Structure 1
């Protein structure tokens, strides 16, 4: 059987040292579209090392650059075809601001294996701490097409009621044609995002953008638009990947301010507002 839920959940956590530099942070920020306009003081916070503020979503690539999807597939009890793999969702808890340069210990384990019938979902949890204490916790929900039906727990629902009323702010962000090629340099080398032939085998007309790139672009839009550009206000950030994005498209990002949080919905302008990110919440101070 491709997935042995009991074996995956019982496996010993994997622990290793990770490190990152300001160069890694700068590359990540450029990969999610920072730097336009290049001389804008608000953008220089993301692109100039002497002023660098770390967007919390950098946590998804810090250190090895593996955002959980590929590394989760090498855990005990998991043996699947990479062409069937999609990133289903991502949850990030930020325990304190991420330094521009750092070393830390990352501990990863399979925290959940869920049977959705026609598909399976793995939850890969990664907890990161440095000598001063916890830094962040990442949960990557890995969607495995055609791997369900093994009789396991369906797991909790992540669906939220739609936010009420009109959004407080709506912004649009263009995805560059080469953005997936730049973003993958932060560590996610899945050929689905670069190789046209591989993308066709996986069922897509051409390479798609990394879900975590859309995730980062969206958080930056929320921080810049409703949080005064202050990255340290972000406490948690969760989303469900509801659809794909193709390089060259435009993201429409709708935001609703709530008590201590911002609800967000992201869609593709060119595909009649097809959903891209759903059930998205940014918790903040």
Structure 2
């Protein structure tokens, strides 16, 4: 079997030094569609170095996402990358991310689950600088055709939608060139740029990065329900439920839960449950089981 679960989980973590500065942060934000309108003070927080703050999902691309790359080459993992799908993503923030910094990123295979017709790798990355931990990030990677060895199935949590209308619904247009810009943050998979490669993968045209829709969604939640304050985000998780094509529109529905669930600002802890769909394809699912935990 190409995946040796016991060997992969027991392998020593891999560490690498990563670094970023304001240009990396600005490029990431622009790749999410920030900067429209260009002179809007709320958007300048994402685009102008003198006012810059860092959206926490930047952790997925800091150091060009080396944690996931390292995990897929870990001992016990020998797989066909064409069989790999990004199934889910979570981030826990230990403190606000600096605009520029250097950190040590440590990656390991935290778990391997047997889903029968597929295996699921949980690739964990932990970043820390001289002041202590910054973030912990888990990527859930589906590997088609690699299950069936009788291993643990792992969790399969699905969230029920609240039995009420969303507190807020916003729509975010995905520009035709957005995947081309987002990939400059480090994900060079030709699936998101090359029409011929996309056809080989079974798509009519290139698709948007799942982590781009993930970042766009967090920005929408921060801007709509957290007063534009990125430092209030404590954790963020999602399951990738479907694809997005550049040129489409994301419909992002949000429900407040916990303190402040009836609307207005919140000074205590709470969370926002989110669903994301593609407007032009009859609200086809994009992100599901999505939660932003906040202060």
Q: Same fold (TM over 0.5)?
A: yes
1:70 Cα shift?
A: 3.6
Distance in 1, Cα, partners of 2:24 & 2:105:
17
Residue of structure 2 equivalent to 1:120: 119
Task: Check 1:230–1:132 CA distance in 2 against 1; reply closer, same or farther (3 A cut).
Answer: same
Give the distance between the partners of 1:59 and 1:241, measured in 2 at CA.
18
1:163 Cα shift?
Answer: 2.2
Distance of 1:68 and 1:89 partners within structure 2: 15
1:44 and 2:18 correspond: no
Q: Does the CA contact (< 8 Å) of 1:68 and 1:140 recur in 2?
A: no
How far does the alpha carbon of each residue in 1:103-126 deviate from its partner, in whole angstroms, 9 at most, with x for none? Answer: 011110000111111111100000
Q: Report whether the alignment pairs 1:268 with 2:295.
A: no
Cα deviation per residue 1:138-164 (whole Å; 9 max; x = unaligned)?
Answer: 000011122222221110123122222
Alpha-carbon distance in 1 for matches of 2:135, 2:274: 22
Residue 161 of structure 2 corresponds to 162
Which range is displaced more, 72-81 or 122-131?
Answer: 72-81
Cα drift, residue 39 of structure 1: 0.6
Partner of 1:283: 293
Equivalent runs, 1:55-134 vs 2, <5 Å: 55-63=55-63, 65-66=64-65, 68-134=67-133
Deviation, structure 1 residue 265: 0.2
TM-score, normalised by the number of residues in structure 2: 0.94
Note the residue ranges of structure 2 that are not aligned, 5 or more in a row. 259-269
8 A Cα contact 2:14 2:70, kept in partner: no
| Cross-structure match for 1:209 | 208
Q: Bigger shift: 148-157 or 30-39? A: 148-157
Task: State the alpha-carbon separation in 2 of the partners of residues 71 and 40 from structure 1.
Answer: 39
- Secondary structure of the residue aligned to 1:139 is strand
Secondary structure of residue in 1 paired with 2:286: strand
Root mean square deviation of aligned Cα:
1.1
TM-score (norm 1): 0.97
Instruction: Quickly say closer, same or farther: Cα 1:229–1:67, change in 2 above 3 A.
Output: farther
